[in-house]
Amino acid sequence: MDFVEKFFSDARENQRFSDSTLDMYSRDINEFKEFLGEKDILEVNNESILNYIESLKISYSDRSIYRKVSTLKTFYKYLLQNRIIESLPIQDIQLPKLQKFVLKELELYELNMILEKCGDSFEGIRDSLIIKLIYETGLQINDILNLTRDSLKRYEFKSVVVNRGKNLFSEPISQELGDRLKEFVHIVEEVFPESERVFPELSRQNFRARFIAYGKKAGIDHEVSPNMIKKANSQYRESEEGREILLEKIKKVYLEIGIGDD
């Protein structure tokens, strides 16, 4: 029996957690399973958890590590309550107390510094396009990483359209970004002809680690994370270019529902 799937099935049935929380739990548990490799997730001990925490320190902040450990605690408590395991493998692990602080926002000039450090290699161009897509659209990182080439072509590289369950999100992008994406997609089609994704072979975790590395190379003296790109989107929408794109989007919606030019 797949006890991970049973955990999520029971959680959805009992409505214990929100969809966003379950998505987060899914990412965290799958990442832990990848770390374990062939080792059974039911045979984990304290040493396994401690080794996992050490591996997380390479790419994640203390706050993110806390969250991931909390996810594992929730999962293993479920297993214990359902008598699937006899003891908590994470029970005796103590993490230092987190200092309370207000996470500093990423300023636009800092984001530009990060973009400059991406460079002009294939990976660097790919990373800069992902950053700019999140920045201009305000969409989630997973939305961007799962973009397909056909989707961009269907909307002529003018909009990014994603599905989240029953909801459809459409966000316009600048012509400059659309042109750069068109060039990049042409390269991807030659290098990865069998993949449908615009950004193949790149995980959320890998992109996060690369983004943090760019921040360090840029000399930014505070913690950075990809989530900050989305927050910077509000500043972008207040800029002249952002307002123009937003107004075009509003006009398009009005025309679709019959309000505006006759």
Encode pLDDT of 53-105 as tens digits: 889 888 887 778 888 988 998 999 999 998 888 888 877 776 656 555 455 67
Query: Do the Cβ atoms of 77 and 121 come closer than 8 Å?
Result: no
Binning pLDDT at 50, 70 and 90, where does residue 188 land?
A: very high
Domain extents in the chain = 3-81, 108-256
**Which pLDDT does position 183 carry in this prediction?**
97
- Mean pLDDT of the 19-41 span: 89
Q: Which two tokens stand for residue 183?
A: 């060039």
What is the structure's pLDDT at 101? 46
Q: Are 236 and 108 in contact (CB under 8 A)?
A: yes
Go through 108-143 and write b for each residue having 16 or more CB atoms within 10 A of its CB, e for each that does not.
Answer: eebbebbbebbeeeeeebbbbbbbbbbbbbbbbbeb
Q: Average pLDDT for residues 164-169, to the nearest whole number?
A: 77
Report the C-alpha dihedral over residues 76, 78, 82, 85, rounded to 10 degrees. Answer: 0
Instruction: Tell me the pLDDT tens digit for each residue of 111-152.
Output: 999 999 999 999 999 999 999 999 999 888 889 999 999 999
Query: What class is the 108-256 domain?
Result: mainly alpha
Write down the pLDDT at residue 158.
94
Please report which confidence band the pLDDT of residue 251 belongs to, taking 50, 70 and 90 as the band edges: low
Q: Which of 105-109, 135-139, 160-164, 198-202 has the lowest mean pLDDT?
A: 105-109
Q: What is the CATH architecture assignment of 3-81?
A: Orthogonal Bundle (1.10)
* Residues 51/44, Cβ–Cβ less than 8 Å: no
Is the pLDDT at 234 greater than 60, yes or no?
Answer: yes
